[in-house]
Structure 1
Amino acid sequence: MDLSNNRKQLLAAAGGLALVVGAGGVLLGRTVLAPEPAAAPAAAPAAAAEEGEEAEHGPEGFVALDESKLAAVGIQTETVAAGTLGSEIIAQATVEPSPQGSASLAARADGAVSRILKRLGDPVRAGEAVAYLESRDAAAFAAERAAARARAQLARAAAARESRLYNARVTARQDLEAAQAALAQADAEARRTQTAASAAGISADGRYLILTSPIGGRVTATSAQLGAFVSAGTELFRIANPNLIQINAAVPAIDARRISIGDRAVIELPGGGTVAATVRSSTPSLDAETRTATVVLAPAGTPAGLQPGQSLRVRLLPRDAPGGGRIVVPEEAVQQIEGRDQVFVRRPNGFQAQPVTVGARSGGRVEIVDGLEPGAVIATRGAFVLKSQLGASEEEH
């Protein structure tokens, strides 16, 4: 009886164990064979991260750079135009003051320098006094002016008296006409002496000759010494306005014949960058020493940093020059990237490296045969900086 009960208990335990194992197998099978729902959400952030990284880095060959940072990293741009090396005339030039931007202050009469109001480099306004000269000629001018004024006043009184007598039928008409003629002559003499005194710069008290500047600018040269006696015509000061300049280019005779008034030109600034200009005039004859013609260029606006006397280089672009479907750019604009010649073209928020086909090179300029269109804005000076940033960005990416 006991054996029978024990056997029943063992069978019941074995059946329960079998049920537990079976249920575990079913659960394990469902766990292993069912799809993983968590994998899809994990893949979505990865794809979004890749898209965000691509948007941040831009397309291949793109260097992100804000407009405000161009000057800080030393990058300058230039708008390219159609042309060839043969169509450009490269010449050396000098910055000169324009005729309205330079003035020479000379003594208008003999005298001694008694006061010097401006020194070398000082700013001067138009009409401002620069120096005083004590002169006997000034006293003579003042005496002439005073005598002429007195004679004019006397003639005016005589003419008025004759007019009253003529109206009262006391004197003849010819006496009135003679008095009026004398008045006109006296007034003319008074105006002459006043003009002469003003031209000489006579002071109100008639003691000094006053040197005044006809233009605004700065004192660029002076030879005045306090107490020194100077003769009439001696230059004592030179005034120049740095905002009123012109560029005088020395062009060989064979090239000067190709240039016309109104032709475009490009001024290469000493510190980098360029300024547009136009041909204002050209000398019909050659310089006896250099055998070159002088072409006068008028820059657009007032380029900063240009001072009279500076030397620089200009590029003249005659209107009738053949274009040839090519473009000429500075040689430093072309960079070797992965074994190919490329230029960096300005794009919103950065620069895009663009492959080009290079032609002839000369004088720091290079022809672009293919790969670039006129009107594109490219990086010139500092293009190597963009190349370095592009390499660093690709390595990081």
Structure 2
Amino acid sequence: MRTGDQSQTTRAADHLPGRILTLLLLLLLAGFVAGCRGEGRSGGDEHEHGHEHGEESGHDEHGHGSGEDEHGHGEEGEDEHEHGEHGHGEGAEHIDEATLAPAAIERYGLRMEVARKQALNDSVTAPARVSYDRDRLAHVGSPVPGRVVELKVQLGDRVQPGDVVLIVESPQFGEAQNDFRSRRAAVDAARSAYERSKTLLERSQGIALGEVQKREVELRVAETEAQAAESKLRLLGFDSAQIAGLLKSGETTSRYPIRSPLGGTVVKRHAMLGELVGPEHESLLIIADTGTLWVLADVPEGRLKDVVVGSSARVKVPAAPGEPYEGVVTVIDPALDRATRTAEVRIEVKDLRGRLKPEMFAEATIFPPAGAAEEVLAVPSEAVQTVEGSPAVFVPVEGEANTFAKRPVRVGPAVGGMVPVLSGLEEGERYVAAGTFILKAELGKAGAAHEH
């Protein structure tokens, strides 16, 4: 071998390890890249395979679990039925029905009624207050000056017409009786003198006509004065029998009895024992017939056209809960209150239970006269619920106890708490008139469960 060739061979041998190393590195890098790509494809295949397997497994498990679910929902549905809720497996055909337990029906106040036609009159509701019937109210005072010496009644006592309620010691009362007696005696004397003068004149026994006429005038004056004295006694409460008794017995008294002018209850007593009283003083007692009261309603001027004398009314008093009071409109104030723009409407009510007190707040509903509106099928406002944006009522499901179905209806504007039903409900059908809000809530829960 030549020296040049040997040298080249030697240099080639020197570079061989480096080339081998480089080649090995390239091979390792290529293998790494290929491995990553293989793993990516393998992962994607496994993912797709897993997805398909999952779906198949899921369907199988669902199919297997469906029986368990149906069984489970059957038990759960039975429990939920006791609580008034829908089971998830009831089916789409029952989504518009709700079943409640008897306890829930009682708790939520569900009430059934029969659909009937009735006249819908636009009633007027207005704030009101209770007042005494001023036609049956008496302010009792003393027509004579004097001192209260005896009180016969207490606050709240019942009295009858003519009962003595208090006694006043009054010298003027005694003087009035004496004055009357003397005036009547003067009449008797004047009449006797006149009759005697007439007899003498007729017999021409020395009496002039002028003297007879004078005695006649004196008689007429005496009679007038006696009549005035009697009128004064009558103003003090004397009747014909008492006046006759006074003339017969001649006995007078300074103790003046004050009597009740009507039957009722003593609702105020201002008099005090020993108090000086007289015509100029305020009333000593107030007696009212509390069996009949007034309810004064403030009706807006825009609704006065719907109120007439004789209209029936219903009055609710929050402080006296229970059955409302029925009454009749008796007076409509012809003038408006300038500040409130309302007119006072007087409603007369009977309070046989004695629960109403003057100045109690009330709410009066005044109904238009009968026959003012045509009869239509109508239900209470609370019977109609808006379900999924449309009005509906609830009717009992035949053959299923305590189960109620939603019934879509077409309705008109509410009038006086009643809603006219134009279609969807027939006259004579039973429907839920109260407590429908719980049925709407049950349908909402059932719908949410069905979608889930």
TM range (shorter): 0.5 to 0.7
104-113 or 195-204: bigger deviation: 195-204
For the pair 1:208 / 2:255, whether they are aligned, the reply is yes
8 Å CA contact 1:287, 1:293 repeated in 2? yes
Please list every run of 5 or more consecutive structure 2 residues that lacks an aligned counterpart in the other structure: 1-115, 247-251, 386-391, 397-406, 439-452
8 Å CA contact 1:342, 1:356 repeated in 2? no
Q: 1:218 Cα shift?
A: 1.0
**What is the aligned partner in structure 2 of residue 184 from structure 1?**
220
Give me the whole-angstrom Cα distance separating, in 2, the residues matched to 1:227 and 1:379. Answer: 68
Give me the whole-angstrom Cα distance separating, in 2, the residues matched to 1:196 and 1:94. Answer: 41
**What is the aligned partner in structure 1 of residue 182 from structure 2?**
147
Deviations 1:13-67 (A, max 9, x none): xxxxxxxxxxxxxxxxxxxxxxxxxxxxxxxxxxxxxxxxxxxxxxxxxxxxxxx
Q: 1:216 Cα shift?
A: 0.6
184-193 or 285-294: bigger deviation: 285-294
Residue 120 of structure 2 is aligned with which of 50, 74, 83?
83
The TM-score normalised by the length of structure 2 is: 0.53
8 Å CA contact 2:148, 2:272 repeated in 1? yes
8 Å CA contact 1:111, 1:135 repeated in 2? yes
Give me the whole-angstrom Cα distance separating, in 2, the residues matched to 1:93 and 1:80. Answer: 31
- Aligned 1:77-116 pairs, distance under 5 A: 81-83=118-120, 87-116=122-151
Residue 293 of structure 1 is aligned with which of 343, 350, 353?
343
Runs of 4 or more above 6 Å deviation: 327-330
For the pair 1:223 / 2:275, whether they are aligned, the reply is no
- The residue matched to 1:127 in structure 2 has which SS? coil
Q: 1:324 Cα shift?
A: 6.8
- The residue matched to 1:235 in structure 2 has which SS? coil
The structure-2 alpha-carbon separation of the partners of 1:200 and 1:369, relative to structure 1 and needing over 3 Å to count, comes to: same
**What is the aligned partner in structure 2 of residue 239 from structure 1?**
287
The structure-2 alpha-carbon separation of the partners of 1:141 and 1:320, relative to structure 1 and needing over 3 Å to count, comes to: same
For residue 356 of structure 2, what is the amino acid of its counterpart?
Q
Bigger radius of gyration: 2
The structure-2 alpha-carbon separation of the partners of 1:201 and 1:277, relative to structure 1 and needing over 3 Å to count, comes to: closer
**What is the aligned partner in structure 1 of residue 235 from structure 2?**
199
RMSD: 4.0
Higher share of residues assigned helix = 2
8 Å CA contact 2:291, 2:354 repeated in 1? no
For residue 246 of structure 1, what is the amino acid of its counterpart?
W
Q: 1:330 Cα shift?
A: 6.2
Give me the whole-angstrom Cα distance separating, in 2, the residues matched to 1:139 and 1:212. Answer: 18
For residue 189 of structure 1, what is the amino acid of its counterpart?
E
- The residue matched to 2:149 in structure 1 has which SS? strand
The TM-score normalised by the length of structure 1 is: 0.60
**What is the aligned partner in structure 1 of residue 367 from structure 2?**
317
- The residue matched to 2:138 in structure 1 has which SS? strand
8 Å CA contact 2:136, 2:289 repeated in 1? yes
Residue 278 of structure 1 is aligned with which of 321, 324, 328?
328
Q: 1:195 Cα shift?
A: 1.7
- The residue matched to 1:369 in structure 2 has which SS? strand
Q: 1:242 Cα shift?
A: 1.6
Deviations 1:200-238 (A, max 9, x none): 347962402322111111100001110112242321100
8 Å CA contact 1:141, 1:206 repeated in 2? no
Give me the whole-angstrom Cα distance separating, in 2, the residues matched to 1:83 and 1:359. Answer: 11
8 Å CA contact 1:217, 1:240 repeated in 2? yes
The structure-2 alpha-carbon separation of the partners of 1:195 and 1:95, relative to structure 1 and needing over 3 Å to count, comes to: same
**What is the aligned partner in structure 1 of residue 304 from structure 2?**
256
302-311 or 155-164: bigger deviation: 302-311
Deviations 1:245-283 (A, max 9, x none): 332211112222442323333334643334543322211
Q: 1:103 Cα shift?
A: 0.4
